[in-house]
Amino acid sequence: MLTVVVAAAFALAGCHRATEQDCEKILDRIVELELKDQGIQDPATVASRKADARAKRHDDLIKSCVGKRLPQSSLRCIEKAQSADEITEKCLR
């Protein structure tokens, strides 16, 4: 019963626990924006850099992101962010 109440509370608050896929999406978005700032927009390069970042930061990603509360407002903010700093300084605070 407690599990149902907790799940309902998260649903009402628009929050859920971040999954590995959520965390990968956040990392991918940060990489995209960092590359955009550097003038790099080649799709193959962007895809390669995303894969590299996921591989290099996988353990940190699991430790620091997966399972953390992730409000829907943060996800919307991440999608609309114009810079990597905006994600880390605004969306994820």
Tokens describing residue 74 = 């943060």
User: pLDDT tens digits for 15-40?
Assistant: 789 999 999 999 999 999 999 999 99
User: What phi and psi, each to the nearest 5 degrees, are found at residue 70?
Assistant: -135, 95
Instruction: Assess whether pLDDT exceeds 60 at residue 50.
Output: yes
Structural domain count, the chain: 1
Per the domain annotation, does 40 fall within a domain? yes
Helices 20-37 and 43-64: angle between axes, nearest 10 degrees: 130
**Cα–Cα distance for residue pair 44/52, rounded to 1 Å:** 12
Q: Please give the torsion angle defined by the CA atoms of residues 67, 13, 29 and 64, in that order, rounded to the nearest 10 degrees.
A: -20
pTM for this prediction: 0.79
Tell whether 22 is covered by a domain. yes
Note down the domain range covering 31: 17-91
In a domain, 11, yes or no: no
